[in-house]
Structure 1
Amino acid sequence: MVNNIVTNSILKKLNVISNNISIGIIEIDKEGIILSFNKAAEKICAIKSKQVLHKSIAEVLPKLNDIEDIEINKKVNKQKVYMKDKTICVTKIPIKKGENIEETIIFISDETEYMRLMEELERNKDISEVLEAVLEMTYDGIVVVDKEGYVRMISKVYSDFLGVDRERSIGKHVTEVIENTRMHIVAKSGIRESVDFQKVRGRYIIANRIPIIKDGEIQGAVGKVLFKNLKSFDSFSKKINKIEKQIKQYDGRSSENNNAIYSFDNIIGRGKAIEKTKNIAKKAALTTSNVLLIGESGTGKELFAHAIHKASDRAYGNFIKVNCAAIPSELLESELFGYERGSFTGANKEGKIGKFELADGGTIFLDEIGDMPLSMQVKLLRVIQEREVERVGADHIKKIDIRIIAATNRNLEKMVHERKFRQDLYYRLNVVTIRIPSLRERKEDIETLIYYLIGKISKKLNKYIKGITVEAIEYMKNYTWEGNVRQLENVIEMAINIVNYGEVIDIEHLPKEITGRRIINNIEKLEDVINKAEKEAILNALVVCKGNKSKVAKLLEISRTTLYEKMNKHDILS
């Protein structure tokens, strides 16, 4: 498949079909020369194909060329550039032949219309009038959902394509209208999804899903099928199916290539605790100082290490991870420093380059630094002070330029007092200390994380999940999560494996350690019990009434003023 794509241009194979989608597709060779340029690309870039074909992309479209360099087996996804008053989302896919990149396919989509629509929504209190006007005029497949995932508007073109009655679709949950949709996930997580492949009625479509955020709060989401004319979909779907398989080959494998694969966008949460931590980390990324990440197991210390490297000036250098607890102490020195040929029995005949040398010009991440033996701590201190390494069995030293990010779940200060960790090394590492909050300190992020993880894991397992009940979410919010986000991820994955395809996760799909906790904890103050029951009643009523506050107040037999007071009291978003 790869060789076919390299030998015969993808766009030539797709021929006219590629001009029936609103995604711009640009194909360049390994020298950066533009081989193909479809009609959508012409429109988005405001330039004719004849002006760019067989020319260097660096010369004619420098902004598309300037984004992150592509590496073998890595898909550079969902980056933004700004061209001629347009916001353009860019996805780059390298096509490899053997060990070398032969061509690159660049997908571009114009998100300006969405941005303008969001501005209109900000300026207009009556959201329906603005959207109705847009949807009546458009030839695109567009759907709008509220924050609970209920369809508020859908374009006629899209409803016709789906084979559903447009009027009857309004008010239904989006999962009842669109097969394998993730609109309700985006409406909960607030995380945009661009150029995503979705299977509908046995065929693949390409969709953008963008959250509607107003005054910092998620109000819903807008989804768009990226076709100029949905009638052209049938002929295109067979081709896009092949490309989708090709993309999967390159997705998520860059961890084998000493690259940081996570950015700050991958650290999910909008709560004060995690936002404060991210802000500190972003500032640290702009410096060259050593960083010490402190936090319980499962809080995401490695994600922060990746993100700091990726946001730094060293982003184009290697990101080398070393788990100090996983490598036997007798092998740790040869792993970190490397060794010369014939240095010891059992050594590689050609010798081996060490982790410090691999990280030269980049970052080395020393995970579980508290488990490093004292004998090795002395040698690490010398590396930090002298910025040089000496391989085992070598008679010369090598200068290196590295940044160190260390992480631990142990109390290093206490270990220093107990003489289990060198004080001088502690101060060398402890230049910028970033404490990662536990999930217990991030209660407001749990629901967002739940929806994000459902989307992520269901996609990984290729299993469509409709959603999760309010009751199940409440049980998880009240749990202590000693294993933090990693434990939450395990619980969600277990639930997805148990629940039937297309159904919702409920209490019965959660471990008893979570569902039993609330029963045990029910022996508490009467006021606390009443408050919890009151909050749950309001949340359930909001779901039943699809967010309509007047109906909620009537159902609960209280005034709207009292309802808003109680929602404010219980931190329920309006």
Structure 2
Amino acid sequence: MPFPHLNGSSLDAATFLQLVLDHVSDCLVAVDTEGLVVLINAPYCKLLGGTPGDFIGRHITEVVSPQTHLHRVARGEEVAATVPLEVRGCKLIARQVPVFEEGEIVGAVGLALFSNYELLKKTYSMAFNSSIALQNSRPGWNAQYRMADILGAGPEMETLRAELALAARHNLPFLIEGETGTGKELAAQAVHTASDRAQGPFVWINCASIPEQLIDAELFGYEAGAFTGASSRGKPGKFELAAGGTIFLDEIGDMPLALQASLLRALQSQSIVRVGGTSPIGVDARVLAATNRRLSEAVRQGRFREDLYYRLAMFTVSMPPLRERTDLRLFIEQLLAKLAAQHGLPLPKLLSAQLAALAEYPWPGNVRQLEGVLLRLLLTGKTSLPEVTDDLTSRHSSPRREEPGDLNLGERLAQEKKRLIEEALAHCGDDRTRAAKLLGISRASLYRELQAGTPS
């Protein structure tokens, strides 16, 4: 169909669109959900050394670079905005975003905003350095995990990933339910990194670990002199720190009832008032929440506001406990391989009997407990693997009736923690910095554990 208002030109819409894109100085390419190139403009063809016919229909990783993430963006797995990309020796800064039709992703488009990275830095050095300084001024507020980090297979896990991908496409509150250790924060980070807020901060707060009298200051910040001990300059809260990104409220079910009204107001008005403040501050942060409680039951008992619950539960997903997963054996093997690669340790081969013992254990601590056991297997080598599986088998299948003293979970967890720290220190030659990294905790946390009575 000819375009209107083109002075009688017979150009059809597709031809006119291609001409427009060819006159854009930056490189542009579009792919479908399979990652196949469906459109590419003249500047990109010139850079690649070919014509559109040479590239259309081929996979984007073959055309541009194996390092591009555009095909993943087209599948809804992530949003890679303003990322460096090298093509044919040229350094580009690319923006890669999904293309939607009626709420569904139908492909993705990549636009090289600049084709000369060094010129960009020179021309915009002030803005560039300011951006880097801003990122470095808030260390730690970054998501580490993506959809690909959610291990497992089968219909249950595919449904879970699909639900998380759907939540990522909409800028609405999202509630994640599940037992302790099932990976609720992993799911929250995966939603964040797959959303259009992926380049923004991922700020978290545990609602159960902060004293009730301080949690409102942590969430909403405070003005100078708002209370005894307050900073003389005031302090932004987690909502302000999460501007342009996501705030993750872990253990939302433990939030004090009095504070829930303030949270509801922040969700509805997209604004907060600092403690001691007199005027509202606009905030642009998406709220993700998690709980190991049944919030619907807490609502019935009057311990959680019904209006806040319905506001948070626009999207809800339940993380399955390990004992209910049908892919547990595969998950154990995948997690063991991931931990081995993460810590640079050799991957032991699990015998079928050993894998069966691990898969039959009920895992009350879920993934967090399983990670600890598998890390101990990696640290202690071949000799420790039978000991772990034998221990699990005896605890799971022994007919002996345990005495109340045997069931002290706190003592067992303390013993397990002590054993893991001892093995990490031994493996690292008593190098506490390396041991802390191997254990996945900070050096300060390791020192606290040692001072609290764990081995020195």
Determine if contact 1:309/1:319 at 8 Å carries over to the other structure.
yes
Determine if contact 1:274/1:436 at 8 Å carries over to the other structure.
no
Find 1:411's aligned residue among 276, 294, 298: 294
**Alignment match, 2:165:** 282
**Alignment match, 2:225:** 342
How many residues end up aligned between the 2 structures? 288
SS in 2 for 1:265: helix
- In the TM superposition, what is the alpha-carbon distance from 1:514 to its structure 2 partner? 3.9
Matched, 1:456 2:338: yes
Instruction: Write the distance in 2 (CA, Å) between the matches of 1:281 and 1:254.
Output: 30
User: In structure 1, what residue type is equivalent to 2:222?
Assistant: Y
**Alignment match, 2:389:** 510
* 1:513–1:455 distance in 2 versus 1, CA, 3 Å: closer
**Aligned pairs (5 A) from 1:133-152:** none
Determine if contact 1:299/1:486 at 8 Å carries over to the other structure.
yes
- In the TM superposition, what is the alpha-carbon distance from 1:463 to its structure 2 partner? 3.1
**Alignment match, 1:484:** 366
Matched, 1:291 2:174: yes
Determine if contact 2:180/2:366 at 8 Å carries over to the other structure.
yes
**Alignment match, 1:88:** 66
SS in 1 for 2:151: coil
- In the TM superposition, what is the alpha-carbon distance from 1:515 to its structure 2 partner? 4.0
RMSD (Å), alpha carbons: 3.1
- In the TM superposition, what is the alpha-carbon distance from 1:430 to its structure 2 partner? 1.0
* 1:456–1:394 distance in 2 versus 1, CA, 3 Å: same
Instruction: Write the distance in 1 (CA, Å) between the matches of 2:240 and 2:394.
Output: 49
Matched, 1:395 2:373: no
**Alignment match, 1:166:** none
User: In structure 2, what residue type is equivalent to 1:512?
Assistant: D
User: In structure 1, what residue type is equivalent to 2:150?
Assistant: I
* 1:422–1:520 distance in 2 versus 1, CA, 3 Å: same
User: In structure 2, what residue type is equivalent to 1:449?
Assistant: F
TM-score, scaled to structure 2: 0.58
User: In structure 2, what residue type is equivalent to 1:307?
Assistant: A
**Alignment match, 2:356:** 474
Matched, 1:427 2:310: yes
SS in 2 for 1:476: helix
- In the TM superposition, what is the alpha-carbon distance from 1:320 to its structure 2 partner? 1.0
SS in 1 for 2:334: helix
SS in 1 for 2:293: coil
SS in 2 for 1:443: coil
User: In structure 2, what residue type is equivalent to 1:318?
Assistant: P
Deviations 1:284-324 (A, max 9, x none): 11111211111111111101100111111111222111110
Deviations 1:170-209 (A, max 9, x none): xxxxxxxxxxxxxxxxxxxxxxxxxxxxxxxxxxxxxxxx
Determine if contact 2:322/2:366 at 8 Å carries over to the other structure.
yes
- In the TM superposition, what is the alpha-carbon distance from 1:511 to its structure 2 partner? 6.4
* 1:411–1:511 distance in 2 versus 1, CA, 3 Å: farther
* 1:458–1:436 distance in 2 versus 1, CA, 3 Å: same
**Aligned pairs (5 A) from 1:66-465:** 82-83=60-61, 85=63, 88-89=66-67, 256-444=139-327, 446-465=328-347
User: In structure 1, what residue type is equivalent to 2:377?
Assistant: A
Determine if contact 1:507/1:515 at 8 Å carries over to the other structure.
no
Deviations 1:1-37 (A, max 9, x none): xxxxxxxxxxxxxxxxxxxxxxxxxxxxxxxxxxxxx
User: In structure 2, what residue type is equivalent to 1:267?
Assistant: I
* 1:504–1:471 distance in 2 versus 1, CA, 3 Å: farther
Instruction: Write the distance in 1 (CA, Å) between the matches of 2:337 and 2:392.
Output: 24
* 1:504–1:287 distance in 2 versus 1, CA, 3 Å: farther
